[in-house]
Amino acid sequence: MKNVQDRQDCYQISHTREDSKLIIYLSGEFALGNLNAFSADIQDLLQTNGIRAIDFDLSEVSYVDSAAALAILNLQKTAASGDILSRLVNPREEIERLFGVIDQDALSHPPLKTKETRENLVFQVGENSLAIVRDLVGFITFFGELMAAITYAVLHPRSVRAKDVLFYMKRAGVDGLPIVGLISTLIGLIIAFMSFLQLRLIGANIYVPALVSFAMVKELGPIMTAILVAGRSGSAFAAEIGTMAVNEEVDALQTMGFDPVSFLAVPKITALVIVVPVLTLYADLFGILGGLLVGSIGFDMSFQTYIIQSLKAVEVFDLATSLIKAGVFAVLIAGIGCQKGFQARWGAQDVGKYTTSAVVSAIFLIVVADSFFAVIFYYLR
């Protein structure tokens, strides 16, 4: 006996029974628009008592979209949960291809979490520790590749693209002069002003130029310049290489036989090693001039006195150590920026993530390195 049910003249569902086997005949169009209706009709048939097997006859089905196909597969899954074997029979070729591309294992294991999970403290500490170890391993690996690339560049200078080095020297050095000069002048002005306020209480105003000059040359000049360069150029390096990595341009370079570290990182590092020491001297000069403005305008100290006291405070050793620190900071900034850029893989969000990480990591390493230099140069002197 056959039952026929009509809904909106789009589809028909009928069935016959052979002992414990139910044959469901589907015909017409099955799509998102009538999904709830035909799913309910078939679900009612699945409640038939004594059924052990079901065949879905698709020979008369003219159209099935992806939503309807998923619904039919979920109905099969429902039948299987009741120990009922089901199968799709006589599908047309295009319909069979549609069902063939659906991953039924994925339906059994949905990718989204069904409920919120809370990891305990031990799990979080373990995950973060593993992330730190992975980052450390990645940094060491990149550092090794970078040292090999720099060694090759030193032995084969013509392999370094001079135009790229000049380009990054302009972008990191010349374009950074205004902000470095402004910040350094303000730093020197603030230090001089606060020093005058304190030292005049004991009549020691004469030592203010020495304090400003020594502080700028020994510490504030190199570290402030490095932080500014990390924010401007380190982030730019990470974003540039990260975008190339996301767009698979780095993979394309490898396919063409180029070493990405030599091709992309070495020119950037070379440029920063050249310009950061120069920017540091520039920052030292403007910091001292900022102090001079306060001394000569606000506290009636002569220009000649300020210059003489500044020269007495600064020695060649201090200037040399300042430049050494600037060179090391340049390698850290460019190296971290390039390494974080190479880690980006999955779109704009990854580029933003690793660009931020490059700036934070560079500033942290700059402060750590400066702490070591402070101790080492104290004992060397």
CB 338 within 8 A of CB 268: yes
What is the rounded distance in angstroms from the CA atom of residue 206 to the CA atom of residue 312?
Answer: 12
Mean pLDDT is lowest, of 103-107, 179-183, 215-219, for: 103-107
CB 15 within 8 A of CB 24: yes
pLDDT of 7 above 50? no
Give 217-256 pLDDT, tens digit per residue: 988 999 999 999 999 999 999 999 999 888 888 888 888 8
Return the structure tokens found at 190: 């603030």
pLDDT at 110 (0 to 100): 52
Q: pTM of the prediction? A: 0.66
Give 74-96 pLDDT, tens digit per residue: 888 888 877 888 888 888 888 88
pLDDT at 50 (0 to 100): 76
Phi, psi of 64 (to 5 degrees): -140, 125
Assign 89 to helix, strand or coil.
Answer: strand
- The DSSP call for residue 295 is I
pLDDT at 118 (0 to 100): 61
Give 185-216 pLDDT, tens digit per residue: 999 999 988 988 888 888 788 888 888 998 99
pLDDT (average), residues 39-56: 82
Phi, psi of 301 (to 5 degrees): -100, 135
pLDDT (average), residues 347-359: 87
Give 274-332 pLDDT, tens digit per residue: 999 999 999 999 999 998 888 888 777 888 888 888 888 888 888 899 999 999 999 99
Q: What secondary structure does DSSP assign to 244-270, as a single string? A: HHHTTHHHHHHHTT--HIIIIIHHHHH
For residue 190, with 0-12 CB atoms within 10 Å meaning exposed, 13-18 middle and 19 or more buried, which class applies? middle
pLDDT of 112 above 80? no
* Nearest by Cα to 284 from 312, 314, 254, 255: 314
Share of the chain above pLDDT 70, in %: 93
pLDDT at 103 (0 to 100): 62
Domains, the chain, ordered by start: 5-108 (3.30.750.24), 132-380 (no CATH)
User: What strands lie across the sheet with 53-64, from one edge to the other?
Assistant: 5-7, 11-18, 21-30, 53-64, 85-89
pLDDT at 107 (0 to 100): 57
pLDDT at 3 (0 to 100): 43
